[in-house]
């Protein structure tokens, strides 16, 4: 039985992007179901799959796994050949720490700059708290590229779970024209050149749903 990934709007659902990107880049086959976050029956449908009532949810037969990071861990166990985490123990711990920091933190950035794939590229004035989040992320990406760059162009060489966890941040930095270091910009460009990224963004731009709470320019919807 094929894996099934249940996700929200591709334009807005940053948590959905994470496991989707990981599975696409790793070549893990799956079926997808997209449910708009504002669908009248959203909670009813998702609660049948996850007690948390949120997306994404990975269905593997009778097993349902929710929360992006838990899904990535499940996939890493089920498909060890995908190399979603670095092979070396200390490096793997470093990657997991970064992924956990993303899972638990950066709330100011998330609130102020919601993921919005179709928004025209336009700067937004940042609060001091958001600037602090940006500096922290820029620093960690730059450090990873300096330490592990010999193994490939991603955070820990090859594309992995840590890159998937930060994919929505790349989208945010790009959409809101946030200034970052040259190393971070190069890393962003590398991720955005992936076929999986192009597939996701193309689908996002074709979606019919508009969520006012995710449109920072509301009532204007600045489609680029």
- Helix, strand, coil percentages, rounded to 5, for the chain: 55, 10, 35
- In whole angstroms, what is the distance from residue 6 CA to residue 35 CA? 7
Rg (Cα) of the chain, in Å, rounded?
17
pLDDT of residue 149: 85
pTM (2 d.p.): 0.96
Residue range 3-82, CATH number: 3.40.30.10
pLDDT one-digit tens code per residue, 111-127:
999 999 999 999 999 99
State which residues of the chain have pLDDT below 70.
Answer: 1
Q: What is the CATH number of domain 89-204?
A: 1.20.1050.10
Are the C-beta atoms of residues 18 and 12 closer than 8 Å to each other?
no
175 vs 124, 139, 168, 205, 216, CA distance in Å?
9, 20, 10, 13, 12
What are the residue boundaries of the structural domains of the chain, listed by start?
3-82, 89-204
pLDDT (tens digit per residue) in 21-52:
999 999 999 999 999 999 999 999 999 999 99
Structure tokens at 38: 């504002």
């Amino acid at each position: 039985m094929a894996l099934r990934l249940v996700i929200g709007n591709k334009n807005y659902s940053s948590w959905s992007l994470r496991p989707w990107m990981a599975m696409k880049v790793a070549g893990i086959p799956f079926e997808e179901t997209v449910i708009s976050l504002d669908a009248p029956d959203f909670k009813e449908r998702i609660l049948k799959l996850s007690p948390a009532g949120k997306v994404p949810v990975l269905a593997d037969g009778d097993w349902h796994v929710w929360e992006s990071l838990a899904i990535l861990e499940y996939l890493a166990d089920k498909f060890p050949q995908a190399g979603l985490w670095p092979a070396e123990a200390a490096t793997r711990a470093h990657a997991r720490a970064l992924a956990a920091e993303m899972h638990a933190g950066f709330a100011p950035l998330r609130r102020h700059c919601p993921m919005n794939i179709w928004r025209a590229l336009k700067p937004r004035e940042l609060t001091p708290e958001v600037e602090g989040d940006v500096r922290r992320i820029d620093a960690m990406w730059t450090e990873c590229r300096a330490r592990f760059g010999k193994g490939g162009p991603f955070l820990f060489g090859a594309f992995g779970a840590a890159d998937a966890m930060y994919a929505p941040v790349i989208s945010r930095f790009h959409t809101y024209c946030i200034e970052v270091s040259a190393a971070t910009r190069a890393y962003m460009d590398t991720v955005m050149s992936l076929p999986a990224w192009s597939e996701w963004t193309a689908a996002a731009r074709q979606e019919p749903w508009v969520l006012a709470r995710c449109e920072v320019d509301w009532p204007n919807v600045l489609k680029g």
